[in-house]
Structure 1
Amino acid sequence: MTALLATIQEIIRDELRSMRVAEQGVVEATYPHADAGDRDNYSCDVRLKSSDLLLKKVPVATGHIGTAAIPNVGDLVLLAFDQGDINQPIIIGRLYTDTERPPPNRNDEIIFRLPLQEADSATIMAAIRAIQGREILIELPAKITIQIVDDQVKLVAGQNELVMDQAGAAGGSTLVQAGRTQVTLNQDGDLTIEAAGNITLKTSTGDVTIEGRSVTLKSTMDTTIDAGMQANVKGGISATLSGNATATVKGGLIQVNGTTIFSPA
């Protein structure tokens, strides 16, 4: 009876030794389904750290069907085994190491940085966090940044910037800035254009109309109005042409209609 019990215990121990719960491994090849015509189905070749055993085309678990983030060659991964069977491995996660450290991060923050170990100028960085208000941040090389925070969306590309503020249903504003040139739009309010250089409004085939309750054209130096065909200046009640020094009216034929009064200034 004692011998039988010992035999049963040894069989149980042998079965337990053959069962795999979870192990670490290193990715040696990836099969991400990179092309619609291939037969790959999101798997990796993984070499177990404990036994040096190579497992071929291990499927990668995903948190949501429709998303994909295949491990890279050299990544340290964690494997689980369906029913403890070495022949049914599944990659369930990835682990950082002393050489592959995580990007700087804090509580209440999700960081994406790809590729991980490249310089800032060669990576894509995205952050979702709720530390001092809610924020979504995306940074790309060449100084391109997209930032979304409470009440504001901001896009920066070098010295070009787009800022949209909306604190509530009213009072929103949009600022478009390129260096020292900017356009400001206030919701249901003013539009302001400020240029460090020239401002040009041009259409090759259509008309240009400037209309408002009052329209003022003002320059610190010269103002020129040039019409290719006809020029008409009309006042509904009155019209005034004046110059502080001189005023000149010139034409091949000058016609003055209506009661005419000439008086000194």
Structure 2
Amino acid sequence: RDWLLITVNRQGTQFQALEEESGQGATTYSNQWKAIPAHLNWQAVPESRPTVDGPMIATVVGPEGEEIFCDEYGRVKIRFHWDRDEVDDEQRSCWVRVSQSWAGGQYGAMALPRIGHEVIVSFLNGDPDQPIITGRTYHATHTPPYALPEHKTKTVLRSQTHQGEGFNELSFEDQAEKEQIYLHAQKDFDAQVLNDMTQHVKHDQHITVDNDHFSQTKNNHHLTVEGERRALTKKDATEIVEGNLHQKVGDIYALTSANEIHLKAGMKVVIEAGAELTLKAGGSFVKVDASGVSLVGPGINLNSGGSAGSGSGFAGKMAEQPKS
């Protein structure tokens, strides 16, 4: 008959191995075993697995020269403080999942802990084979973005430039009478609005562009200024209107040029005044008013030859389009 061995207990003594009892006693060996008929189904009782009680502190590690090290799932490598091997490389652990504040299919929040960051590691159901990073901590070496408790009223989201100097930041100041939302982009800032965008500034607005400013409106552009409107252009200015241009002034329209004013029309120019019209050059002038037409000058020439004066003509430049 065939038997299936399921348990073996061995027991032996060898007093010669004990220095204090060398040479005393005999060497013995015995065993006890249990077996069942081979045709019976049998499964060993699973041994209890070790468990981890509570979270642990660890440090994020990775290859030398890297600042950020992760896989396609956003998992990182860590080294526990009790690890006797002091080498901080990517061989210290398995890939460890990182808890995020929001996680969905192709949407949510993502902030990877970087090499050197201190993290809090928990274990799912206490299983040491299922670690997961559930938090991050500041300490004496890695301090908060702003000094505390001096800036205790700030809520801050600040990143750090990868392989360079600088940061991006969104922060909120909640101190009474000093409330502020601060946004800092280390390089570019891009915003996309698929429908309407509304801004309402209830006091002043100040905008400074240190280089070029490009703007494009693909439909209508309306501007209303209820107070004064002032503009200063320190170099050339060009305005091109491909349709009609209408200007209406409620009181005085004053135009001054240090050198030349050139008006040119493809068909006709009409200058109309309700009371008086004057053309003046040097000491000569032509004045038209209700009393008649007055021509005054050192001499008045009619059909005496000569040629008309000419202007410089249009030399403006088309506007450049903003980048998309």
Task: Report the TM-score range of the alignment, normalised by the length of the smaller protein.
Answer: 0.5 to 0.7
Whether the 8 Å contact between 1:77 and 1:95 is mirrored in structure 2 is yes
Q: Alpha-carbon deviation of 1:214?
A: 3.1
Aligned length: 206
1:59 maps to which residue? 97
CA distance in 1 between counterparts of 2:137 and 2:206 reads: 43
TM-score relative to the length of structure 1: 0.61
1:23 maps to which residue? 56
Whether the 8 Å contact between 1:125 and 1:138 is mirrored in structure 2 is yes
1:154-189 CA distances to partner (integer Å, 9 max, x unpaired)?
xxxxxxxxxx7415xxxxx6555568xxxxxx9750
CA distance in 1 between counterparts of 2:74 and 2:111 reads: 9
Identity %: 13
1:214 and 2:251 equivalent?
yes
CA distance in 1 between counterparts of 2:49 and 2:225 reads: 74
CA distance in 2 between counterparts of 1:57 and 1:232 reads: 82
Whether the 8 Å contact between 1:21 and 1:84 is mirrored in structure 2 is yes
SS in 1 for 2:278: coil
Q: 1:200 to 1:210 in 2, by over 3 A?
A: farther
1:205 maps to which residue? 242
1:128 maps to which residue? 172
1:79 maps to which residue? 121
Greater strand share, structure number: 1
Letter in 2 for 1:21: G
Q: 1:191 to 1:206 in 2, by over 3 A?
A: farther
SS in 1 for 2:102: coil
1:42-69 CA distances to partner (integer Å, 9 max, x unpaired)?
2112121123584312111112220000
SS in 1 for 2:254: coil
Instruction: Please provide the CA RMSD for this pair.
Output: 4.0
Whether the 8 Å contact between 2:156 and 2:170 is mirrored in structure 1 is yes
1:88 and 2:169 equivalent?
no
Matches within 5 A, 1:152-191: 165-167=201-203, 174-176=205-207, 189-191=226-228
Letter in 1 for 2:115: V
Unaligned runs of 5+ in 1: 1-14, 33-39, 145-152, 154-163, 168-172, 180-185, 250-255
2:145 maps to which residue? 103
Letter in 2 for 1:64: W
Higher RCO (C-alpha 8 Å, min separation 6): 2
Q: 1:175 to 1:134 in 2, by over 3 A?
A: closer
Q: Alpha-carbon deviation of 1:25?
A: 1.1
Q: 2:75 aligns with which of 37, 43, 48?
A: 43
CA distance in 1 between counterparts of 2:252 and 2:236 reads: 17
Q: Alpha-carbon deviation of 1:70?
A: 0.9
